Amino acid sequence: MTVFADLVVFNTLTRRFEPFEPLVGRRVFMFVCGPTVYDYSHLGHARTYVFYDTLARFLRKLGYSLFYLQNITDVDDKIVNRAAEEGRDPVELAREFESYYYEDMRALNITSVNLYARASDYLKEIFEQVETLIKLGKAYVTESGVYFDITTFPDYGKLSGQRPEELRVHRIEPDPTKRNPGDFALWRNRPREEFGWESPWGYGRPGWHIEDTAISIKHFGKQYDIHGGAIELAFPHHEAEIAQAESFTGEKPFVKYWIHTGLLTVEGEKMSKSLGNFVTIREALREYDANTLRIFLLSRHYRSPIDFRWEYLEQARSSYERIINCLENLKELEIGEEGDEEREFLSRVRERRDSFYRRMLDDVNTAEALGELYELVRDVNSFSERMGKISEAGRNEVISTFSELLDLLGLRIEEGPDTSMLHALISLILDVRENLRRRREYDLADEIRGRMRELGIDVQDTPKGTKWRIIG
């Protein structure tokens, strides 16, 4: 692989573009906030997890040894409330939707996660962290639970840029037992008829934020390289994680690089069941394949907002079909000797590949990387139409380049099981057309060519015989 400059990423914590330098050598630890498993995953989840899958693929391609950890929030009021509504056991409901989440991730070709960690498996670590924070004077116990005192952590708000006066508000609901309105729960006591566990402070459930630090510190230690998630989690969730972890360990920074994805809207509005615009991953995949969905989601820079419209998926599908048609046409070229034009063409292919990597190295700009991929398609199509042949080594190099770049984006080159049958049928139709031409039935032969073009198959009569190609 060509030697490139260093990867540069935008760090939410510092609000700067920074060279990516892991804490220890080439070893990278990355934690991404996973779903709360009480419902089917939606396109906002897809936007986030497709990006981090792409980032993971790219880091590994660059030679980093990556451990990608994602939590599964299977302890949450939303799970308990939905289970109560349906008269079900909360654990059973959580496991069901967890399995659906894994199905959706596999369907999207998200394969880079090393470990999915359930919050309920880390109660020991949660208890240890809460007890320590109480002993350090960072947290306090009330009759309703245990709360983190944000006044003991002067850096609270540094990630999201929240001002002190903005932090002195009730985020969810007022609690007269709290010292400060902005203090957040580490443990919530609950009635015994609800789902929960015994703890040193009463029967109940852990707070949302403490789950993630319990999991990440258990596996990564006091500090690690990358924390990811959607930008709406920066406050209060990620802000609370920093306060908990740095107070617990005494080490700063808890995470070196905070990388956040932008919001996904639906036709300009926030996705919401109440608005009737809530689109799940499996609903989208019933209409379009995973390659199409990934292209759509990667067609905007990860930090930018992205608006979902069904017609945008149609555009993404056309883009992917152009790539596949380009490869099919390339495979149909005659094999010849490498000449000067091919050598010049292959040089452009290598330049496109290098440009693709430069775009990715610039804060993982998948939108511009896709642009380079489309330019490569145009280069290949132009060469194929002009020359009509290529050396075997040249064709293998171009196909290998496509495979490399598509794999980095998590796109699969899928040839349907009927591809050989399709080629056989086209050959049969062209044989019939050639017989018509021999009998001087040109009108019917031209009608066949016109109908084939309507179906996306371009037929050309050349001095060397009839040639055909799939057109996008």
- Contact predicate 373/323, CB 8 Å: yes
**How do residues 328-361 score in pLDDT, each as one tens digit?**
889 888 898 888 999 999 999 999 999 999 999 9
Residue ranges for the known binding site for ATP are 273
Residue ranges for the known binding site are 273
Q: Quick check: 430 pLDDT over 60? A: yes
Q: How far is CA 187 from the centre of its chain?
A: 31
Complete DSSP assignment for 50-100:
HHHHHHHHHHHHTT-EEEEEEEEB---HHHHHHHHHHT--HHHHHHHHHHH
**Contacts by residues 395-398 (CB-CB < 8 Å, ≥ 24 positions apart):** 395/330, 395/331, 395/333, 395/335, 397/346, 397/349, 398/330, 398/346, 398/349
CATH code linked to domain 8-138+152-164+207-284: 3.40.50.620
Q: Quick check: 288 pLDDT over 50? A: yes
Q: Quick check: 75 pLDDT over 70? A: yes
Structural domain spans, the chain = 8-138+152-164+207-284, 319-408, 419-470
Name which of 238, 234, 265 is nearest 42 in CA terms.
265
Task: Show the tokens assigned to 355.
Answer: 């440009």
pTM of the model: 0.86
Question: In this structure, which amino acid lies at residue 275?
Answer: L
Q: How confident is the model at residue 170 (pLDDT cuts 50, 70, 90)?
A: very low
Q: What pLDDT, on a 0 to 100 scale, did the predictor assign at position 464?
A: 64
Q: Quick check: 4 pLDDT over 70? A: no
For all residues of the chain together, what is the average pLDDT?
A: 91
Q: Quick check: 416 pLDDT over 90? A: no
**How do residues 13-34 score in pLDDT, each as one tens digit?**
999 999 999 999 999 999 999 9
**How do residues 442-469 score in pLDDT, each as one tens digit?**
889 888 988 888 887 888 887 767 777 7
Tell whether the torsion through CA atoms of 94, 99, 100 and 101 is positive or negative: positive
**How do residues 241-273 score in pLDDT, each as one tens digit?**
999 999 999 999 999 999 999 999 998 888 877
- Contact predicate 230/46, CB 8 Å: no
